[in-house]
Structure 1
Amino acid sequence: MQKIKDWITKYYEGLAYLFFGGVATLLNLLIFAVFQAAFGTGFAAGPGNIIDNILCILFAYWTNRTFVFRSRNHGTAALKEFGQFVFFRLLTLVMDQVIITIGVQMVGPAIGFAVAGAASGDAMAPSELWAMGVKLFSQVVVILSNYVFSKLFTFKKKQ
């Protein structure tokens, strides 16, 4: 049992990032799916994706600060940390939006998946599944980028 505790302690940061990153990703995908079902793929891949990302940025900051990197910054240091976090997350929001736009609005129609204006029935149409697959791929790229940015720039340990 002690070996397990030691292993968790040794790898806590990475494990916590994977867990809370997974929760944030599920939240991101869930909001995308809700927007897609309610307003169609066009909205979900456009303005809905921006709204989705903003909500998830706020959630991710709180979980990263509190549970993953256990930041103890206060005052101006905390504001600087938040500013850096938001800056880098806005960079990955742009990455996400570029991937979504190219994948859903350009590649999708080129291979036969037209962007649906509104959700169709109970089952997901192939274009909606394609859009969700593109979103999932985008989230993998975003998660990896966010970890690097958070570890190297935002929540770096003082030496």
Structure 2
Amino acid sequence: MQTIKQLWQRYQSVISYLIFGGLTTVVNIVVFWLFNSVIAWPVWLANAVAWFLSVLFAYITNKLWVFDSKTPTAGAVIREATSFFGFRLLSFFIDEAIMIIGTSVFHGNSLVVKIIDQVVVVVLNWFFSKLFIFKDRT
């Protein structure tokens, strides 16, 4: 039990990120599937809606439970959220490129391409969050 506790303390940020990153990925994939397969929106538009809703979910969960970010003022929250969405916007362009190339050029199944795409995006977003957004500001 002590070993598990030590591992949790040492890797809490990474483990939490994997859990909430996984949930964010589920939100992204389900919303994408709903808008692309059920409502029949184009890949790029369904992907954009999925991106926005999953990034909103990710910001809240990352702030509260992954990086335990303390922002004492409204200005600090705005700067942090702007940074978060800004870096996620960078990964959004990579996300869109993978989706468009994967479905249009390689004619891959949109849901399969989306799942592969999310692996790349989750890794990029962890580095952006850890290194630039929720870094220790003390």
Residue 89 (structure 2) pairs with residue 90 (structure 1)? yes
Gaps in structure 2 of 5+ consecutive residues: none
- Structure 2 match to 1:13: 13
- Structure 2 match to 1:138: 117
Where has structure 1 moved over 2 Å in runs of 4 or more?
Answer: none
- Structure 1 match to 2:127: 148
Gaps in structure 1 of 5+ consecutive residues: 114-129
Residue 33 (structure 2) pairs with residue 54 (structure 1)? no
Using the TM superposition, give the Cα deviation of residue 44 of structure 1 relative to its aligned residue in structure 2, in angstroms: 4.8
Identity %: 36
Residue type at the aligned position of 1:135: K
Contact map agreement 1:33 1:44 (CA 8 A) in 2: no
Aligned residues: CA RMSD: 1.3
Using the TM superposition, give the Cα deviation of residue 39 of structure 1 relative to its aligned residue in structure 2, in angstroms: 2.5
- Structure 2 match to 1:34: 34
TM norm structure 2: 0.94
How do 1:104-115 and structure 2 match up within 5 A?
104-108=103-107
Give CA deviations for 1:84-129 in whole Å, capped at 9, x if unaligned.
Answer: 0000001111110111011112220xxxx6xxxxxxxxxxxxxxxx
- Structure 2 match to 1:72: 70
Q: How many residues align?
A: 137
- Structure 2 match to 1:117: none
Contact map agreement 1:85 1:150 (CA 8 A) in 2: yes
Using the TM superposition, give the Cα deviation of residue 16 of structure 1 relative to its aligned residue in structure 2, in angstroms: 0.1
Give the direction of change, closer, same or farther, for the CA distance of 1:39–1:105 in structure 2 (3 Å limit). farther
